Structure 1
Amino acid sequence: MTVLEEPNKACVPLAEICLISGIPEEDSGDFRELFQMKAFDLEQSLQEVTERYEREKQKRRALHNSLIELRGNIRVHCRIRPSLPFDHAAGHSVSQDRQRNSLENVAYAIDDETVLVKCSRPGHAPINKTFQFERVYSATESQDTVFADVAPLLTSLLDGYNVCIMAYGQTGSGKTYTMLGPQLEENFAFVSEDESELGIIPRATQELFRLISEKPPGSYWVDVSVVEVYNNEVFDLLAKDSCGKVFGIKRDVVTTREGKSDVPLLTYETVANASEFLHLVIKGLQLRIRHPTLVHAHSSRSHLVVTLTITTIVSGDNFGTSWEDEQINQRLNKEVSCTCPQKTKESKSTSSSRASSPAQLEAAEKLKQVKTRLQLVDLAGSMSGVTGAALRETSFINRSLSALADVLGAIAEQRSHVPYRNSKLTHLLQDSVGGDAKLLVMLCISPSQKYLTESMQSLGFGTRARQVQRGQVRKRNLTALSKTK
């Protein structure tokens, strides 16, 4: 007997279908062929509609990104981490029923732009809440996928725009993993056996130097600074003592006459490739404040800000025609204007001995430095329910994150005064948050009911950040012409 099969369903005899449909049994062969053709046509139509939907979604996303550019809005992505062992750690004073409920997952990525959160309270009907962002990553999506959406910002960096990428979320939500990747606990070195696990910071640096390698030699150089904000104090993690040993030195944040934030005496190190950069970052991470928390044993208790300053040498001759010309241009440019405080004395003495050369002065006049900045920020996680010595540092963390929310609120409401100086963190990030950079906020949340309150707070922060309109981000002039005489 001929049968028709459907996935996950019992086989249905064709004769029975014909009997129910009133079709003579001798015509069942034609009916079977017709049925298969219809099924094939439906599958083809479904595939075409799906492909058309994906194309239209990509177009809509491109238009949305263009609108974000024009409005100066903040891009917000959200990443839901997978369940981890500490999610299931039993509490001493929690009932078994409540403990069982806290293990449930309540946050889901229902598509690549929407987060669904199942909110429930005892004695109340459950409520589903949805949050829309530019991109949402499920617990199964890889570091490769996350960085693929970040990489285009690095092209903008070399096109003359400042860029800031900031990870926000509670303690243990995956911020440091997203920004740095897995780290060895003893020396905080990056695990290099599996590069697919590397986070945004090492990947961004590799991509940046790859892009620079495609440019004329000597037309770019990169300086790095690493600071942390701990208990509302800024520490320079690349500063060295008289013996050359790296140790954190307290620095201050000031506002320049131009209204920009600056850290006087901050240490900058010039790097030539991604390996040199990662070596410096590892040194800084070894000094970063880490304390055990209720969530995990190596929680970062400070805000980490890694800044790469890219200096572009621009000339009216489009960087010359040879490698030797580029080296001469770079050397002359360094003599005219230095990028680091440590180089200032050398520059003055060198330039004074060579200032009498008309050829050098003429060449220097044709050059211009354009600086763009990439800030990579791993914010410390908010946390509640702590006591003892951890209470003070947690209070500073929560206050600085609250100050960041206040700044975004003031910008969104277009107030005349934006309270950047209420926190060293917001003062340090003033130029990036205030509209002088393309800003991407990477929300990191836990899927567990156990951390529902913290996840809702993070999602609320991201929703408010999306509403901020800062005006179109300014581009640095990369087409400088030689001075007119």
Structure 2
Amino acid sequence: QLTWGLGKQYCLVYGPAESQQAVFGDVCPLLTSLLDGYNVCIMAYGQTGCGKSYTMLGPQSTGEPVPPWEPHSDLGVLPRAAGELFRLISENPSRSLKVDVSIVEVYNNDIFDLLAKDGRTAASGPKREALIAQEAKQEVCLLTREPVHSAAEFTALAAGSLQLRAELATSVHANSSRSHLIITATLTTAPACGSPGKWPCAPGPAEQQANGPRPEGSRRSASGGRAWPGALGAQRPAEQVHAKLQLVDLAGSECVGVSGVTGSALRETSFINRSLAALADVLGALAERRGHVPYRNSKLTHFLQDVLGGDAKLLVILCVSPCRKHVAETLRCLGFGARARQVQRGQARGGSPAPRKPR
């Protein structure tokens, strides 16, 4: 089941035989919205072992080899989205969009930076706390952001971080994720040179020769270089954030009696279930238009506050089991999806068309 907002909700249901390509076909229009200036969040939710990581990340999330004769058949949302993103950027090179990637996991209600150079595991890696800045924007202190220049660099960076993600074998799933994974691609752009109110273009050799040496007493630019006539005293504008894409692979909800976890694993399960309950509470508060939305009840909802209650386009993929013995978890998952559908989104700052209706 897929849902997204902005005042209009759409729902699609996929059977077990549907391909990864079919799922991404209905996710793909959001990448065009990203280039139009919308923030976009794609989130996978469901019971542990129901295919969230496989849907979002592909076979590499489970360690399963990809058949050499079909190397791209089971690619997940992340590598397909990376390919589509850079394809769209290449179609309009004049926009000069840059892409930076950050990857964090929320483990036991702490935020860990998986790209930090000194990060080894969730237990020893550096913690990063979510902070509230102006206009309710979330920032994470000293969060690592790596520039990427191609889809291959994007996916390689994500694949390397997956090796650091907290996992555990349980009675339900051999590679159960014990943390929420959040991969953020930030698109930035510098103001165009030479346009009114923008940074002037750097002078070429002919202009420099015509202008002559820098006059005594004239000011230097912010970068320490010469400020040629027409740019004296000017401060180069900072790069502007164009839009953000967040890909969220949530840890799976689980019943302790079924998973059979004990000790530290039981503590992990408690944090996972409480954070997922906090996420459902936030969506419920937004759907009911309450005056107070409890974002701070969990580091997960605090970190995702912009895409949950802001003007972003939010898409939720519900992964459910077809087995009768999991019917209770399936119903809880569908209840979460029902809350997500009821959230009315504000008008986004972009200008892209609404997502296409389901076939």
Question: What TM-score range do you get, normalising by the shorter chain?
Answer: 0.7 to 0.9
**Residue 177 of structure 1: aligned partner:** 54
1:388 aligns with 2:248: no
Matches within 5 A, 1:227-238: 227-238=104-115
Asked if 2 retains the 8 angstrom alpha-carbon contact of 1:219 and 1:326, the reply is: no
Rounded to whole Å, the distance in 2 between the matches of 1:405 and 1:354 is 53
CA drift at 1:196: 1.8
User: Kindly tell me: are residues 138 and 358 of structure 1, through their superposed partners in 2, closer, same or farther at Cα, counting changes over 3 Å?
Assistant: farther
- The range that moved more, 352-361 or 191-200, is 352-361
**Residue 78 of structure 2: aligned partner:** 201
Structure whose alpha-carbon radius of gyration is higher = 1
Q: Report the 3-state secondary structure (helix = DSSP H, G, I; strand = E; otherwise coil) of the residue aligned with 1:139.
A: coil
1:405 aligns with 2:283: no
Selected match of 1:439 from 314, 330, 338: 314
CA drift at 1:242: 11
**Residue 117 of structure 2: aligned partner:** 240
Rounded to whole Å, the distance in 1 between the matches of 2:169 and 2:227 is 61
1:309 aligns with 2:183: no
Rounded to whole Å, the distance in 2 between the matches of 1:414 and 1:405 is 14
Corresponding letter in the other structure for 2:317 = M
User: Kindly tell me: are residues 430 and 450 of structure 1, through their superposed partners in 2, closer, same or farther at Cα, counting changes over 3 Å?
Assistant: same
Selected match of 1:466 from 337, 341, 345: 341
- 1:297-336 per-position Cα deviation (integer Å, ceiling 9, x unaligned): 1111100000000113343868xxxxxx99969xxxxxxx
Corresponding letter in the other structure for 1:383 = E
**Residue 22 of structure 1: aligned partner:** none
Asked if 2 retains the 8 angstrom alpha-carbon contact of 1:253 and 1:264, the reply is: yes
Matches within 5 A, 1:162-173: 162-173=39-50
- 1:325-355 per-position Cα deviation (integer Å, ceiling 9, x unaligned): 99969xxxxxxxxxxxxxxxxxxx9834126
Asked if 2 retains the 8 angstrom alpha-carbon contact of 1:383 and 1:398, the reply is: yes
* Structure ranking higher in helix proportion: 1
CA drift at 1:153: 0.3
Rounded to whole Å, the distance in 1 between the matches of 2:115 and 2:238 is 30
Matches within 5 A, 1:5-16: none
Corresponding letter in the other structure for 1:290 = E
1:145 aligns with 2:19: no
Rounded to whole Å, the distance in 1 between the matches of 2:106 and 2:202 is 39
Matches within 5 A, 1:342-381: 351-354=222-225, 356-359=227-230, 369-381=240-252
CA drift at 1:361: 6.3
Which protein has greater RCO, CA pairs closer than 8 Å, 6+ apart?
A: 2
Corresponding letter in the other structure for 1:410 = A
Q: Percent identity?
A: 58
Q: Report the 3-state secondary structure (helix = DSSP H, G, I; strand = E; otherwise coil) of the residue aligned with 1:229.
A: strand
- 1:268-303 per-position Cα deviation (integer Å, ceiling 9, x unaligned): 000000111111111210100000011121111100
1:214 aligns with 2:85: no
Rounded to whole Å, the distance in 2 between the matches of 1:149 and 1:364 is 43
1:266 aligns with 2:143: yes
User: Kindly tell me: are residues 364 and 157 of structure 1, through their superposed partners in 2, closer, same or farther at Cα, counting changes over 3 Å?
Assistant: farther
Q: Report the 3-state secondary structure (helix = DSSP H, G, I; strand = E; otherwise coil) of the residue aligned with 2:328.
A: helix
Corresponding letter in the other structure for 2:313 = K
Asked if 2 retains the 8 angstrom alpha-carbon contact of 1:260 and 1:431, the reply is: yes
Asked if 1 retains the 8 angstrom alpha-carbon contact of 2:118 and 2:126, the reply is: no
**Residue 329 of structure 2: aligned partner:** 454
Rounded to whole Å, the distance in 1 between the matches of 2:141 and 2:147 is 17
Q: Report the 3-state secondary structure (helix = DSSP H, G, I; strand = E; otherwise coil) of the residue aligned with 1:471.
A: coil
Corresponding letter in the other structure for 2:17 = T
TM-score, structure 2 normalization = 0.82
Asked if 1 retains the 8 angstrom alpha-carbon contact of 2:194 and 2:200, the reply is: no
CA drift at 1:435: 2.4
CA drift at 1:363: 8.9
Rounded to whole Å, the distance in 1 between the matches of 2:75 and 2:28 is 14
User: Kindly tell me: are residues 366 and 224 of structure 1, through their superposed partners in 2, closer, same or farther at Cα, counting changes over 3 Å?
Assistant: closer
Corresponding letter in the other structure for 1:265 = L
TM-score, structure 1 normalization = 0.61
Q: Report the 3-state secondary structure (helix = DSSP H, G, I; strand = E; otherwise coil) of the residue aligned with 1:211.
A: helix
| Pairs aligned (count) | 324
CA drift at 1:450: 1.3
Rounded to whole Å, the distance in 2 between the matches of 1:190 and 1:237 is 25
CA drift at 1:436: 2.6
User: Kindly tell me: are residues 326 and 445 of structure 1, through their superposed partners in 2, closer, same or farther at Cα, counting changes over 3 Å?
Assistant: farther
User: Kindly tell me: are residues 184 and 158 of structure 1, through their superposed partners in 2, closer, same or farther at Cα, counting changes over 3 Å?
Assistant: closer
Rounded to whole Å, the distance in 2 between the matches of 1:378 and 1:184 is 11
Output the aligned Cα RMSD. 3.2
Asked if 1 retains the 8 angstrom alpha-carbon contact of 2:54 and 2:62, the reply is: no
Corresponding letter in the other structure for 1:435 = G
